Amino acid sequence: MPQFMDVVFYVCAVYLTVAVAVATRLGWYMVTRLDHFDWLHSKPEIWGMFVFATLLWPLVLIKPMALIKPADLFSGPYGMAARMREEELLRQYPPPCGQTVRYRQSPGRNVETFGEFTFNSADLEKALVAKLQEHPHLADDHEGAILNWLRQRNDSIKTPTDVPDAWHRFQFIADDELRAGRGKSFCLKCNDQIPGIGLREEDDHGIPGWNFDRLLCQQGHPLLVVESVHISVRQLST
């Protein structure tokens, strides 16, 4: 019996020793590598992962790389901290912007789109100034950062510069501009330029759930699809 108790003691001692080592490693990483974006957007997940990995370290050690490079353990839900970090970097250090900008909608929860658009940067700047006067709170969102990007443009750059993917709210700006008759549209499915009056509008109205505004080419390919409004429908019990 004493021998059995010795085994239990040594197993517990080894388990606790490794747990302390794992906690030390993760704690060091949390203190030295995680920044304020991580703590702002993923704080509960960070502490949850720390407790989980410390108590149940054998599950973590199935993939030892997780301890060597713990970044994935602390990436948080939907990579929110990484997205916010990228947006802040874009705001502080915007990439070069030329006379025209090119936009391709990122894949989202909407249907796949096939539009590629180019806009005159000066037109966009004018439109955004008007939009921010009407909705000042957007100055802190992508719209404010995009306006700053457009304002520091270099008109000697003649080749179109791409709108960074991280500024996904550019889709609303593009939608407004195209419906106002500004910008050039190209359908990647038809492999053809679309004349200014050639865009078809197909918008949802009053559908329960998300409603979308769509711009299509003449062949019906979706070029730009943006969320317009979400309608909640309460299920009435009968």
Query: Which residues of the shown chain bind Zn ion in the complex (CB under 5 A)?
Result: 187, 189-190, 217, 219, 221
Least distance between Zn ion and beta carbon 223 (Å): 7
DSSP per-residue letters across 85-124: HHHHHHHHSPPP--SEEEEEPPP-SS----EEEEEEHHHH
Least distance between Zn ion and beta carbon 218 (Å): 7
Least distance between Zn ion and beta carbon 168 (Å): 23
> What SS3 string covers 221-232?
CEEEEEEEEEEC
**Nearest CB to Zn ion, comparing residues 154 and 193:** 193
**Nearest CB to Zn ion, comparing residues 179 and 221:** 221
**Nearest CB to Zn ion, comparing residues 37 and 117:** 117
Strand, coil or helix: 157? coil
**Nearest CB to Zn ion, comparing residues 104 and 153:** 104
Least distance between Zn ion and beta carbon 190 (Å): 3
Least distance between Zn ion and beta carbon 205 (Å): 24
Instruction: Specify whether the CB–CB gap between 46 and 11 falls below 8 A.
Output: no
Going edge to edge, which strands form the sheet with 161-162?
161-162, 100-104, 115-120, 184-187, 192-194
Q: Which of 95, 92, 84 is nearest to 35 (CA)?
A: 84
Instruction: Specify whether the CB–CB gap between 76 and 47 falls below 8 A.
Output: no
Nearest-10 Cα torsion for 221, 198, 228, 169: 90
**Nearest CB to Zn ion, comparing residues 19 and 188:** 188
